[in-house]
Amino acid sequence: MVENLLAFNGNVVGKGQLIEISQGKPIVPDRPVIPFIAGDGIGQEITNAMREVVNRAVGVTYGRKRKIAWLETYAGEKAMEIFGSALPLDTLKAIELFRVAIKGPLNTPTGQGLRSLNVALRSHFDLYQCVRPLRHFVGVPSPMVRPQDLNVVIFRENTEDVYAGIEYQQGSDKALQLAAFLEKLGETIRPDSGIGIKIISREGSRRLVRSALQYAVNHKLSSVTLVHKGNIQKFTEGAFLRWGEELAQEEFADYIVSESELWRKHDGVLPEGKIVLRSRIADAMFAELLLRPTNHSVIASCNLNGDYLSDAAAGQVGGLGMAPGANIGDNYAIFEATHGTAPDIAGKNIANPSSLILSAVMMLDFMGWKEAAELIVEALAATIADGHLTKDLAVQAGVAQHLSTTEFAAALVKTVRRLARKKRMK
């Protein structure tokens, strides 16, 4: 127990225990301390809803045996106001100690010297996997005829490519020096160019593809697709594909079947327990996710393509409001809503808390508290299917009635209790 021994940002840690993570695998006690950052804009409203639903689901699933000891910690505007820093050292220390955290959306205050707080957190904790599961919930309006056909988990590399952040402003000394150096290598650079550098490493690619393949194995999923733009960028995107395929052969040979083998040896029918390893050029992948979404269950890609693909896929199943996210490394994991702070609706009690609630579901799943995670997903599906919609979804569906954030959370809690009772009676 770490009770009453420690305080971060002035908040004393309650009765709770430490999560440990060894080689990417969490060892979770029954009363883990979990730091949360409510975030800016609608952050506080959706965080309240998320904690209420998670506490109830954990309570009805495990009784007194398990409970989360939440620890509020700060970043963004609230942190700036209270502590004069958008990312106080204590916030980093709390996550360093407790390993698993969850956060709402953040505004990066201007003049802080940080490009983005989210990117700063990801790079500080080396959270190299950005994991985004995307599926449809019946009742969520979508532009697709069969939105339920899309059910993918996207693993986007989170530390390299455009996130390496090497970029020089047009006309700056560094841009001019780099242009001069590149000219020595025989390249022609227009003198009025800004220059960005794309970095893709072998180790960075291999660890990301390893995580995607391991996820497919753990969740018994039948395909992993490596998405790249290697036809044009051969030594970065193309290398990502090559290194990914090499890793798959070295470490997952018992599981994987290539797409050509699938047809050559198995008549297009994947043998039980195997995973088909596909590769797709990024532009073709966008078309394929629209036309043949059932071909794909796990996708692995470099940073920028993964960014585009995640939001496009979220759009197919009804938008960002329902899309959860996780940033995971070998030693830490931070779960987060994928939308922004929605300043236009902040404080109005109309935000949709589903993205953050589903991020908490990913967190429970990561912790191995799968029964509580499943209960929340079932309750969310049932609540929405019953026509209980927050305003964003109601507007998209063209219906006048909608629930406030707090009413939606209350409806979810009620459904969690009802489904738990039903399960106990079975």
CB of 345 to ligand NAI, least distance (A): 5
| Comparison of 1 and 114: residue with beta carbon closer to ligand NAI | 114
Give whole-number Cα distances, 223 to 95, 196, 274, 298, 317, in Å.
Answer: 33, 33, 8, 6, 20
C-beta of 315: minimal distance to ligand NAI in Å?
12
Buried b (16+ CB within 10 A) or exposed e, 276-302: bbbbbbbeebbebbeeebebbbbbbbb
List residues near ligand NAI by CB under 6 A: 42, 46, 105-107, 118, 321, 336, 339-345, 351-352, 355, 392
Question: Is 163 noted as a catalytic residue in this protein?
Answer: yes
Q: What's the alpha-carbon Rg for the chain, to the nearest Å?
A: 22
Q: How far is the CB of 67 from ligand NAI (least distance, A)?
A: 27
DSSP string, 189-242: --TT--EE-----HHHHHHHHHHHHHHHHHTT-SEEEEEE-TTT-TTTHHHHHH
Q: For residues 237 and 336, which CB has a smaller minimum distance to ligand NAI in the complex?
A: 336
Closer of 48 and 258 to ligand NAI (Cβ): 48
How far apart, in whole angstroms, are the C-alpha atoms of residue 75 and residue 379?
Answer: 31
Q: How far is the CB of 336 from ligand NAI (least distance, A)?
A: 6
- Give the separation between CA 279 and CA 292, rounded to whole angstroms: 14
Residue 27, strand partner residues:
20
**Of 229, 365, 391, 392, which residue is the catalytic one?**
229
Cα separation, 112 vs 120, whole angstroms:
12
414 is catalytic: no
If the CB atoms of residues 271 and 343 are measured against ligand NAI, the closer one turns out to be 343
Sign of CA dihedral 39, 44, 49, 53: positive
State both tokens at 339. 């939308």
Is the CB of 245 or the CB of 407 nearer to ligand NAI? 407
Nearest residue to ligand NAI by CB is: 340
Tell me whether residue 40 is one of the annotated catalytic residues. Answer: no
Q: Which of 74, 128, 163, 168 is catalytic?
A: 163
Closer by beta carbon to ligand NAI, 297 or else 352: 352
Nearest distance in Å: CB 296, ligand NAI: 25
CB of 180 to ligand NAI, least distance (A): 35
Helix (H, G, I), strand (E, B) or coil at 260: helix
List Cβ neighbours of 146 (8 Å cut-off, separation of 6 or more). none
Cα 325 to Cα 132: distance, rounded to the nearest angstrom: 5
CA dist., res. 276 & res. 257, Å (int)? 5
Answer yes or no: 283 catalytic.
yes
Region for 94 from its dihedrals, namely left if φ exceeds 0, alpha if ψ lies in -120 to 50, beta otherwise:
alpha
Nearest approach, Cβ of residue 342 and ligand NAI (Å) = 4
User: Nearest CA to 341 among 156, 163, 16, 106?
Assistant: 106
Residue 252 vs 335, nearer CB to ligand NAI: 335
Catalytic residues: 163, 229, 283, 307
